[in-house]
């Protein structure tokens, strides 16, 4: 076979084919420096943005969270009290009839001991029937009725109610079948007092935050967050505490405590 020469059309065609295949690769290589440069610039920009973002986050965390509290002594200004009278009989009519003189006797006692007619109200009247049966045969032996009358007392004179609580048992000594419930002593201006107490608790939190920040030669800025903590009304000098708060209604004089959890910016 004779050796191929440069004038042979077949090698020339192969060369053109290889060149056409390599052309896109050369064009890609020629663009590579520009892409690298663009990526480098973009990378520097992202690094700068990241630096600003990190700095901003660090500043946002320069805060202090402090718990403030305010405690005051208050006196109840209203009392709710109830008494229960009950009387039995062989019929509903008989038990009701026997109950009425006892209700009148109790009302007269309360009026004689300083209560006003407007402070005394009759609650609901209930009657219950009890059937007494022979335990062996189940036969009905007797039907017994019991009528009950509630007397509701509401007064702004808490001292008068407190005194009457000690005097009312005298009616039992006179033969009145009486159930004496414990009075509830409340404070009617609690909504206004709550706002004032929370403001004082917030002020206390700021004072505490300033004392802490002062040790680091820093100052306290504006409030960034504030949460109402427990709001408790307890008996005097009580150590009782509840996460959900408490409200003592058994005593006339009480301690009221408000708690605020406040976050401040630190400058």
Q: How far is CA 11 from the centre of its chain?
A: 91
The residue extents of the domains of the chain are 61-75+188-266, 78-186
Q: Whole-angstrom Cα distance, residue 58 to residue 97?
A: 81
User: With contact defined as beta carbons under 8 Å apart, do 45 and 123 qualify?
Assistant: no
Of the candidates 148, 146, 149, 110, which has an alpha carbon nearest to the alpha carbon of residue 131?
146
Of 75-79, 134-138, 171-175, 218-222, the range with the lowest mean pLDDT is: 134-138
Common-topology check for domains 61-75+188-266 and 78-186? no
Q: Do 184 and 80 contact (CB within 8 A), yes or no? A: yes
Q: What digits encode the pLDDT tens for the residues 244-253?
A: 678 999 999 9
Nearest C-alpha neighbor of 66 from the set 260, 267, 266: 260
User: What global pTM score does this model have?
Assistant: 0.69
Domain at 61-75+188-266, CATH from 3.50.50.60, 3.20.20.140, 3.30.110.170, 3.40.50.300: 3.30.110.170
Do 145 and 94 contact (CB within 8 A), yes or no?
Answer: yes
Q: Which is the CATH superfamily of the domain at 78-186?
A: Protein of unknown function (DUF541), domain 2 (3.30.70.2970)
Of 174, 203, 175, 189, residue with least CA distance to 264? 203
Q: How far is CA 141 from the centre of its chain?
A: 55
Q: Which tens digits make up the pLDDT trace of 213-235?
A: 999 899 999 999 999 888 899 99
């Amino acid at each position: 076979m004779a050796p191929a020469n440069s004038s042979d059309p077949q090698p020339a065609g192969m060369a053109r084919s290889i060149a056409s295949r390599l052309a896109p690769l050369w064009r890609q290589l020629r663009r590579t420096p520009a892409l690298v440069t663009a990526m480098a610039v973009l990378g520097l920009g992202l690094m700068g943005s990241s630096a600003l973002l990190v700095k901003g986050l660090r500043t946002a965390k320069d805060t202090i969270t402090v718990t403030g509290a305010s405690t005051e002594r208050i006196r109840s200004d209203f009392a709710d009290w109830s008494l229960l009278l009950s009387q039995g009989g062989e019929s509903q009519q008989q038990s009701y009839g026997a109950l009425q003189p006892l209700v009148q006797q109790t009302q007269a006692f309360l009026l004689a001991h300083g209560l006003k007619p407007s402070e005394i109200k009759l609650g609901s009247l209930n009657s219950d029937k009890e059937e007494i049966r022979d335990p062996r045969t189940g036969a009905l032996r007797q039907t017994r009725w019991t009528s009950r009358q509630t007397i509701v007392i509401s007064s702004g004179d808490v001292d008068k109610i407190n005194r009457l609580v000690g005097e009312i048992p005298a009616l039992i000594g006179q033969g009145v079948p009486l159930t004496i419930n414990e009075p509830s002593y409340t404070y009617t201006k609690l909504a206004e007092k709550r706002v004032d107490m929370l403001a004082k608790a917030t002020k206390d939190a700021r004072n505490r935050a300033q004392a802490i920040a002062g040790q680091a030669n820093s100052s306290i800025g504006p409030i960034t967050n504030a949460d109402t903590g427990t709001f408790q009304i307890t008996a005097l000098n009580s150590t009782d505490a509840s996460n959900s708060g408490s409200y003592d209604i058994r005593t006339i004089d009480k301690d009221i405590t408000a708690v605020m959890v406040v976050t401040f910016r630190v400058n």
